[in-house]
C-alpha cells in the first residue's frame, strides 16, 4: 500500500515560458511538486527518467506533434493527463483528445480555479479507479 499523503508530482509541458512560470507558481502554491519542460522532447525525456502523478500537456508544441506525444504517453501507461489548449476547448477537442488518452481539457489561459478543478478531478478519478480495481 503506497503512501497517499506524499506530495503529488505534476509535469507541465508547454513551449510558452509565461504559461510554464504561471502554472509552476500556481501548482506549487496548491501544494504540488511541479516540474516544467519547454518542449515535447524535454518532456518525454523527463517522463522516461522519473514518475509523475499527472501531466499537463500543451496541444501545440514547436518540436513535436501533440498526437505523437499522447501516443507515447499512452504506451508508457502514464495517467492522468490534462491537455492545455490555446483557445477555449470545444466538445470536438475533448472527444479527439479523450480518444488519445487525455482525461481532461482546459484552456491554458483559463482561471486558476478552472485549472485547479481539472487537476483535482483527475486525481479524484485516479483514486477512484484504484479503489474499483
Query: Which three three-digit cell numbers place residue 133?
Result: 480495481
CB-count burial class (<10 Å; 0-12, 13-18, 19+) for 126: middle
- Given pLDDT bands bounded at 50, 70 and 90, which one contains residue 9? very high
HSE (side-chain half, CA atoms, 13 Å) at 38: 4
- Given pLDDT bands bounded at 50, 70 and 90, which one contains residue 2? very low
Q: How far is CA 121 from the centre of its chain?
A: 12
Residue-wise pLDDT tens digits, 33-69: 999 999 999 999 999 999 999 999 999 999 999 889 9
Domain residue limits, the chain? 9-132
Q: Is the pTM of this model over 0.75?
A: yes
Do residues 58 and 84 touch, judged by C-beta distance below 8 A?
yes
Q: List the one residue out of 22, 14, 8, 37 whose CA is nearest residue 110.
A: 22
| Average pLDDT of the segment spanning 89-113 | 87
* Alpha carbons 10 and 87: distance in angstroms, whole number: 22
**Residue 116 confidence (pLDDT):** 92
For the 9-132 domain, the top CATH level (class) is alpha beta
Amino acid at each position: 500500500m503506497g503512501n497517499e499523503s506524499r506530495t503529488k508530482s505534476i509535469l507541465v509541458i508547454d513551449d510558452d515560458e509565461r504559461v510554464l512560470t504561471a502554472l509552476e507558481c500556481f501548482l506549487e502554491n496548491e501544494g504540488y511538486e511541479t516540474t516544467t519542460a519547454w518542449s515535447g522532447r524535454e518532456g518525454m525525456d523527463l517522463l522516461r527518467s522519473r514518475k509523475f502523478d499527472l501531466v499537463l500537456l500543451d496541444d501545440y508544441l514547436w518540436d513535436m506533434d501533440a498526437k505523437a506525444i499522447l501516443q507515447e504517453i499512452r504506451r508508457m501507461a502514464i495517467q492522468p493527463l490534462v491537455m492545455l489548449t490555446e483557445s477555449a476547448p470545444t466538445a470536438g477537442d475533448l472527444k479527439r483528445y479523450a480518444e488519445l488518452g487525455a482525461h481532461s481539457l482546459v484552456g491554458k489561459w483559463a482561471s486558476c480555479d478552472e485549472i485547479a478543478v481539472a487537476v483535482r478531478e483527475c486525481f479524484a478519478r485516479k483514486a477512484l479507479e484504484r479503489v474499483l480495481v
